[in-house]
C-alpha cells in the first residue's frame, strides 16, 4: 500500500452516532456501510472507526471486554467484513480504534488477575501494595477524577486505572502482555483493515518504582475543574520504555503494509512525544490535542507546525481541530470569525493546508456545533463527574444530521442522545448541492488538496506577516502555493508577489495590484511560477 497515508485525509466515524439501520436509536455497522458513498463523495481518503468491540459501554466502547468480536449493539463480524469490503470498493481505507493500554474490568483477563497474586495472568495488570497507612502507593490521578488507584479486597492490593475505575491498566512491562496485544492487531489485520488509531498511545507504560508526579510548574490562579491537569505527568505515562514497544508494533504493521496513528494525550510535551513516536521504525504518524483548544492565533499555528518539523524532521503529524473528546471548533472559535459558518469554512481551508495528514470529525463538514444538554440527558462519565464544568463529551457526540426530520435521518427510533433544533438546522440534505454551504466548501477544498502536490507533500515556509494574518508557503519542486488566512472578524490587507496568481478556493479574498483584501474570516491561495 506504500505511503498512502502521508498527506491523506481521514474522517472519524463515531459508530453510535453515524447511522442507525435497525431503529434502536444507536448507530451500527450496516448503517455506516450504507453511508459510505457519502464519505467517498466528500473526498476523504480513509475512515477511522471509533471502538465497535464487545464492551459494557461504561465509557462508550473505550472499555473493551473482548478485543476480537463486535458488540451486538453495532452488529456482527460479518457486518464488519462487509463494511471493509464496501469501503475498499469505493477506494476508501479503513482504520480502527485500538484501546490496548487498558481493558474493561469485565474482561476475563482482569477477573483472572484479581483472583489471586499467583497464576498465569496475575501480573497482567498493574497492582501495588498500600502504603503503611493504607493509602494508595502514590499521588497519581485519574483523568476522570479522583485517585488512579482502587483497592481490591481479593488481592489486598490497589490496581491502576488512568481512566474509569472499570478500566484497569495492563502491565506492559510484561512481555506476555505485549505478545497478546500484537495478536489482537494481527486478528484485525487478517480481516483486511488498513491500520489502527491507538488510543492513549503514551499511557502504555508506568514507572515501576511508582514515584510521585510533581506539581505542574505552570502557575495557576485557582485549582482546575479537573485536578489531573495540576500534575506534571512524568511517571504515570510518557515513559521511555514505550519506544521499544512502538517499534514492535511497527514491525507487525510492516508485515501487512499497514499504518498506525497514535493519540498523544499530553498537555506539556505533546509535540516532542509526537516526534519521538513517529521517528523511523516507530508509528507512521501521531496526533495530539495541541490544536483542540481555544487558541486561534497565527503565532499558535506557526509555533505548533514549525515546532514539530524542527524537532522531528523525519516524523509525521496528523492534525485535527475537533474529535469525540472536545467541543466542536466551529463553536469553540466562533468569536474569532464573522459567523459560525465563516469560521467553519476558514478552519476547513486552514486545516487542509497544513503540512502533515489531516483528520476530520464527523459533522464538522456541516459547520456543526455542540449540543447543550441537561444533566439528566448525559451519558458521558466524565461529563457527569465534573458537572457543571464544561468538560463533558456528549455535546460533540450527538447523532449525525442527515436531514431536517425529527430524528435527523439518523434513526426511526429514539436516538441515544437527542438531536436538538440548533443541530438539526445543519444537515446534509439541506447543504448538498447548495453553493456557499459549509458542506460545498469542504468538498471543494478536499478536491483542491487532493489535486495539489504542494498541499499534500510540500514543505512549509512561514512568512512574517502581522497578526491576525497567517501566511505560509507550501512548496514542492513542481508547485509553489501561498496560503493566506485572516484569523479575525475584521478585514485585513496584505501583499503578494506581483507574479502570484489567485488559485483555488477563496473566502472573502480579492486582489488588485499586488494587494490582497482579506475580509472577515478570509482565506486565499496564490500560485507562483517556479
- CA-based Rg of the chain, rounded to a whole angstrom? 23
Among residues 194, 199, 355, 475, the one annotated as catalytic is 199
Classify residue 102 by its DSSP letter.
Answer: B
DSSP 317: B
Residue closest to 212 by CA, chosen among 194, 188, 193, 231: 231
Asked whether the beta carbons of 63 and 164 are under 8 A apart, the reply is: yes
Catalytic residue check, 479? no
- Name residue, grid cell 475584521: 490
Quickly list DSSP for 434-478. Answer: -TT-HHHHHHHHHHHHHT-HHHHH-EEEE--PPTTEEEEEEEETT
Cell of 68: 476480537
For the chain, the maximum distance between any two Cα atoms, rounded to a whole number of angstroms, is 79
Q: Contact at 8 Å (CB) between 357 and 8? A: yes
Given the residues 133, 190, 255, 464, the one annotated as active site = 255
Q: Which three cell numbers stand for residue 458?
A: 510540500
199 is catalytic: yes
C-alpha–C-alpha distance, residues 276 and 62, integer Å: 25
Packing angle of the helix pair 298-311, 270-277 (nearest 10 deg): 40
CA nearest 109: which of 162, 152, 66, 140?
A: 66
| CB-based contacts of 505, cutoff 8 Å, min separation 6 | 349, 441, 444, 445, 448, 523, 525
Angle at 153 between CA 152 and CA 157, to 5 degrees: 55
Other beta carbons less than 10 A from residue 519's beta carbon: 17
Consecutive H or E run containing 93: strand 93-98
Local structure of residue 203 (DSSP, 8 states): -
Across 289-433, where does the E strand assignment appear? 318-319, 357-361
Active-site annotation, residues: 199, 255
Amino acid at each position: 500500500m506504500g505511503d498512502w497515508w502521508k498527506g491523506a485525509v481521514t474522517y472519524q466515524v463515531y459508530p453510535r452516532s453515524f447511522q442507525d439501520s435497525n431503529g434502536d436509536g444507536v448507530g451500527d455497522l450496516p448503517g455506516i456501510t450504507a453511508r459510505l458513498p457519502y464519505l467517498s463523495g466528500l473526498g476523504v481518503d480513509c475512515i477511522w472507526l471509533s471502538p465497535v468491540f464487545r464492551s459494557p459501554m461504561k465509557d462508550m466502547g473505550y472499555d473493551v471486554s473482548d478485543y476480537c468480536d463486535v458488540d451486538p449493539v453495532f452488529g456482527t463480524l460479518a457486518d464488519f467484513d462487509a463494511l471493509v469490503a464496501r469501503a475498499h470498493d469505493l477506494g476508501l481505507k479503513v482504520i480502527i480504534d485500538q484501546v490496548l493500554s487498558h481493558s474493561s474490568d469485565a474482561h476475563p483477563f482482569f477477573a483472572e488477575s484479581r483472583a489471586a497474586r499467583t497464576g498465569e495472568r496475575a501480573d497482567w495488570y498493574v497492582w501495588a501494595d498500600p502504603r503503611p497507612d493504607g493509602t494508595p502507593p502514590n499521588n497519581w490521578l485519574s483523568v476522570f477524577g479522583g485517585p488512579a488507584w482502587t483497592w481490591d479486597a481479593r488481592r489486598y492490593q490497589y490496581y491502576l486505572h488512568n481512566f474509569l475505575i472499570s478500566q484497569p491498566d495492563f502491565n506492559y512491562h510484561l512481555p506476555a502482555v505485549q505478545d497478546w496485544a500484537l495478536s489482537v492487531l494481527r486478528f484485525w489485520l487478517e480481516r483486511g483493515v488498513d491500520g489502527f488509531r491507538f488510543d492513549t498511545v503514551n499511557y502504555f507504560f508506568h514507572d515501576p518504582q511508582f514515584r510521585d508526579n510533581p506539581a505542574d510548574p505552570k502557575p495557576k490562579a485557582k485549582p482546575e475543574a479537573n485536578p489531573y491537569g495540576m500534575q506534571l505527568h512524568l511517571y504515570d505515562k510518557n515513559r521511555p520504555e514505550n519506544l521499544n514497544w512502538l517499534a514492535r508494533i511497527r514491525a507487525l504493521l510492516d508485515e501487512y503494509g499497514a499504518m498506525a496513528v497514535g493519540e498523544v494525550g499530553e498537555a506539556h510535551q505533546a509535540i516532542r512525544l509526537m516526534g519521538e513516536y513517529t521517528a523511523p521504525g516507530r508509528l507512521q504518524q501521531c496526533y495530539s490535542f495541541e490544536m483542540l483548544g481555544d487558541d486561534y492565533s497565527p503565532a499558535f499555528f506557526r509555533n505548533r507546525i514549525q515546532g514539530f518539523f524542527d524537532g522531528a524532521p523525519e516524523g509525521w503529524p496528523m492534525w485535527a481541530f475537533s474529535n469525540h473528546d472536545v467541543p466542536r471548533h466551529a463553536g469553540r472559535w466562533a468569536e474569532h470569525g464573522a459567523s459560525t459558518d465563516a469560521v467553519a469554512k476558514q478552519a476547513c481551508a486552514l486545516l487542509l493546508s497544513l503540512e502533515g495528514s489531516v483528520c476530520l470529525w464527523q459533522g464538522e463538514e456541516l459547520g456543526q456545533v455542540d449540543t447543550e444538554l441537561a444533566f439528566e440527558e448525559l451519558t458521558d462519565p466524565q461529563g457527569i463527574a465534573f458537572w457543571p464544568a464544561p468538560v463533558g463529551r456528549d455535546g460533540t457526540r450527538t447523532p449525525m444530521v442527515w436531514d431536517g426530520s425529527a430524528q435527523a435521518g439518523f434513526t426511526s427510533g429514539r436516538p441515544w442522545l437527542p438531536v436538538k433544533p440548533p443541530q438539526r438546522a445543519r444537515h446534509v440534505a439541506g447543504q448538498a448541492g447548495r453553493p456557499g454551504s459549509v458542506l460545498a466548501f469542504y468538498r471543494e477544498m478536499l478536491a483542491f488538496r487532493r489535486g495539489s502536490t504542494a498541499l499534500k507533500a510540500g514543505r512549509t515556509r512561514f512568512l512574517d506577516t502581522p497578526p491576525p494574518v497567517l501566511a505560509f508557503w507550501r512548496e514542492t519542486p513542481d508547485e509553489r502555493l501561498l496560503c493566506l488566512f485572516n484569523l479575525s472578524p475584521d478585514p485585513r490587507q496584505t501583499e503578494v508577489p506581483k507574479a502570484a496568481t489567485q488559485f483555488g478556493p477563496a473566502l472573502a479574498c480579492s486582489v488588485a495590484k499586488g494587494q490582497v483584501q482579506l475580509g472577515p474570516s478570509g482565506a486565499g491561495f496564490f500560485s507562483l511560477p517556479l
